[in-house]
Amino acid sequence: MPRLRLRVLLWTLTACVCSALPLDVPGLVYPHGDFVIRNLCKFCDLEDSTCDGADKCTSECKKTAICAAVDEVCVTIWRKNDSNVTMETLCHSPAVPLYGFMLDDYNNTECRMKEKKVLGSLFYLCSCSSEEECNNVIYFTEEKPTLSIPMVTAISLLPPLVIAVMVILAFYRYRVIRQKKLNEEWKKKKKRKHDCSDGCAIMTDDDQSDISSTVANNINHNLELLPIELDLQVGKGRFASVYKAKLKQSTAEQFETVAVKIFSYEEYASWKNEKDIFSDINLKHENILHFLTAEERKVDKQYWIITAYHALGNLQEYLTHHILSWDDLCYLGGSFARALAHLHSDHTPCGRPKVPIVHRDIKSSNILVKNDLTCCLCDFGLALRLDLSLSVDDLANSGQVGTARYMAPEVLESRINLENIESFKQSDVYSLALVLWEITSRCSAIGDVKDYVPPFGSKVGEHPCVESMKDSVVRDRGRPEIPNSWQKHEGLQLICSTITESWDHDPEARLTAQCVAERFSEIDQMDKLSQRSCSEEKISEDCSVSDDK
Ligand code: ADE
C-alpha cells in the first residue's frame, strides 16, 4: 500500500513542522506570508466497521492527517455487503472522481452520507471540509434545513402580518357596508313624505345631506380652520352679515355651498349664544337651520357660524316676490309651526329629553325657505335655553329683546311673567301668528292678493320703535287685518282662527306652537279627505255615465 505509507509519512512530517510553529491550527506559512489552511481529516483508508448505517456513527479511525494538497477534502465511504461492513476514510480532491463519483457535497462542514448506486452492496459516500476531522462523525440522516435570520424573521412576522391584513380588510369591508347602508337609509328617508305621525324628525332637504358630517353639529376644535371661500353677501342683521360660501372638498374643484354668518369681535356675546344654542344635538330638526360648525377667525378678528345654505332666501323676500298656492301656504305654515313646536318642546320627536328653547326674535326674515317650500328657522342670537338652572334674575336680565314690530304686548310693556317659563313661549307664539298672517296674505286662496306688506304695514313706519308699537298693539289692541273675504273655505277659516287665537292679548289664552302644528295637520287631513271624495265623486260620475250606457 504505497499510497497509505506516503500519506502517513506526510502526516508525521507535517505534525512535526506544525509543532514547531506557534500556530495551533494545521496550515503552512509561505515565504511571502500567505497562510493557507488545509483540511484535517481522518485517514485510515479501509477498515472494518461496526457502524450499522442508521442515524449517526463515528469512524473508529485513530489516524488523523493534514491533507497533502490544499484542495483536498475529507471523505468517508461506508460499505455493507453480505459478509462485512467497512469504513474508508481519506483525503481526496473534488476535482477528481472517486470510485466513479464526483464529490458534490465537499463544501459541507458535516459528513452526511448519500447512497450511491453500486450493484451488490450498499455504498454510502460523504465529503466535507473543515479543520476538525469532519469525516470522523458521519450522518445517515438528512440534514435539518437551517433557517436564515431573514427567513426566521419573515416566518415569525407572518402570523401578525396576516392578522393585521385581515383586520384591515374586515374594517374596510365594515366601512363600505356601513356607508352603503347609510346611503340607502338616506335615500329611503328622502322618499318619505313630511310625516310626523311616527314621531321622528326626518331631514329631507337635499342641501343638508351633502354637508360634511365631520363638522356637523359641532364646534370646530381643530386648529385648522375650514377651507371656506366667501362668495356673495346674502343677508345683513343687527349683529352679523351672512355670506354664501364655498366649503372646499378634498379634491380641488369640488365644494359644498354653505352659509357663513360673520360676527365682529364686538358681537361675541351674540355669536356665543347662537353657537351654544346650535351645539345642542337635540335641536336638530328638518325645520331648524342645519348647523355645521362655529369658528373663531383670529386673523380677521371675526367669529363665524357655518350652516346649510338655502338658495330661496328668507321668507320675507320670498313672500315679496311670490304668490303662494293653497298647498304652499300649508307647507310653509305647517313646517314653520313644527319648527317652533320642536324648539319649545322638552323632548325630541323620538322622545329624548331636550331643553326647551325660546327664540325671542321670530319674524319672517328669520325664517328661510327650503327648495321643497318648507320653512327652516334661523338666527338664534337672542334665543334662550329654558333649563332649570335659570334663575328669575337671569330671566329678568335677559331684558326686552327682539324686533319691535313682532313683539308681543307683554314684551312691549316689559310685563312678561318671569315666574313662568311658558310666558316666553307664549310671546314667541304671538310672533308666529304675525308670520302666519304674512304667509296667508300672499296666498291666492284668499282671493284678491295685495302686494306684500309686513304686519302692521307702513302705519307704524319702516322700522318701528317699541313706543309706536306699544301704541298700536297695547293701547289700541290693534292686529293686522283679516278681511272676511279671506275665509273662503274651511281650511282658510281654520288658519284664520288659528292666527287670531295665537295673537290673543292674554298670553295664557294663546295656542301653543304644538297646537298650531296640529291644526295644520288637521288641515292636511281635511285636504286629503276632500281630494279623495272629489276623486270618488269623479269615479262615481264616470261609473254612472257608463251605467247609463
Ligand atoms: N340668509 C341668512 N341665512 C341664510 C342661509 N343659511 N342661506 C341662505 N340665505 C341666508
11: pLDDT strictly greater than 60: no
The crossing angle, in degrees rounded to 10, of helices 326-344 and 490-502 is 30
Across 441-470, average pLDDT: 95
Predicted pLDDT at 265: 95
d(CA 387, CA 205): 30
Report how far apart, in Å, the C-alpha atoms of 527 and of each of 496, 519, 520 are.
16, 12, 10
Q: What 8-state DSSP symbol labels residue 471?
A: I
pLDDT digits (tens, 9 = 90+) for 380-396: 999 999 988 787 777 77
Q: What 8-state DSSP symbol labels residue 198?
A: T
For the chain, what percent of residues have pLDDT higher than 70? 81
Index of the ligand 1 atom closest to the CA of residue 311: 8
Instruction: Find, among 272, 259, 258, 257, the residue nearest to 303 by Cα.
Output: 272
pLDDT digits (tens, 9 = 90+) for 293-340: 999 999 999 999 999 999 999 999 999 999 999 999 999 999 999 999
Distance 315 CA to ligand 1 centre (A): 10
Q: Which domains does the chain have, with CATH numbers?
A: 38-139 (2.10.60.10), 201-308 (3.30.200.20), 315-533 (1.10.510.10)
Instruction: Find, among 167, 428, 345, the residue nearest to 436 by Cα.
Output: 428
Burial of 503 (0-12, 13-18, 19+ CB in 10 A): buried
Index of the ligand 1 atom closest to the CA of residue 259: 6
200: pLDDT strictly greater than 60: no
Name which of 62-66, 70-74, 184-188, 523-527 the model is least confident about. 184-188
pLDDT digits (tens, 9 = 90+) for 164-174: 999 989 888 88
Residue nearest to atom 10 of ligand 1 (CA): 313
Residue nearest to atom 9 of ligand 1 (CA): 313
Q: Which of 205, 361, 379, 504 is catalytic?
A: 361
What residues does 127 pair with on adjacent strands? 75
What's the maximum distance between 2 C-alpha atoms anywhere in the chain?
Answer: 147
d(CA 103, CA 128): 9
Distance 241 CA to ligand 1 centre (A): 10
Predicted pLDDT at 209: 44
Of the ranges 5-14, 179-188, 328-337, the best mean pLDDT one:
328-337
Cβ < 6 Å from ligand 1: which residues? 234-235, 242, 259, 289, 307-310, 313-314, 368, 378
What residues does 450 pair with on adjacent strands? none
Quick one: cell of 124?
454510502
Report how far apart, in Å, the C-alpha atoms of 311 and of each of 144, 257, 258, 369 are.
78, 10, 10, 8
28: pLDDT strictly greater than 70: no
Predicted pLDDT at 313: 97
HEC string for 137-159? EEECCCCCCCCCHHHHHHHHHHH
Clarify whether 361 is annotated catalytic: yes
Number of neighbouring beta carbons within 10 Å of residue 37? 14
Distance 309 CA to ligand 1 centre (A): 6
**What is the band of 207 on the pLDDT scale with cuts at 50, 70, 90?**
very low
Quick one: cell of 157?
412576522
405: pLDDT strictly greater than 80: yes
d(CA 497, CA 306): 38
Name which of 138-147, 198-207, 460-469 the model is least confident about. 198-207
**Phi, psi angle pair for 303, to nearest 5°:** -115, 135
d(CA 72, CA 43): 12
**What is the band of 109 on the pLDDT scale with cuts at 50, 70, 90?**
very high
What does DSSP say about strands 302-308 and 291-297: parallel, antiparallel, or unpaired?
antiparallel
d(CA 106, CA 39): 11
pTM score above 0.95: no
Q: Are 91 and 72 in contact (CB under 8 A)?
A: yes
Quick one: cell of 50?
461496526
Q: How far apart are the first and last CA of the chain?
A: 138
Mean pLDDT score of the chain: 84
Which secondary-structure segment (H or E) carries 316? helix 315-321
Predicted pLDDT at 172: 81
The crossing angle, in degrees rounded to 10, of helices 513-548 and 490-502 is 170
Question: 3-class DSSP state for residue 41?
Answer: strand
Sheet of 137-139, strands arranged across: 56-58, 137-139, 111-112
Across 390-408, average pLDDT: 82
Give CA angle at 182 (179, 185), nearest 5°: 150
Distance 368 CA to ligand 1 centre (A): 7
- Mutate-to-test residue for ligand 1 from 309, 316, 363, 375, highest number of ligand atoms within 8 A of CB: 309
Predicted pLDDT at 184: 63
Q: Are 286 and 205 in contact (CB under 8 A)?
A: yes
Quick one: cell of 35?
497562510
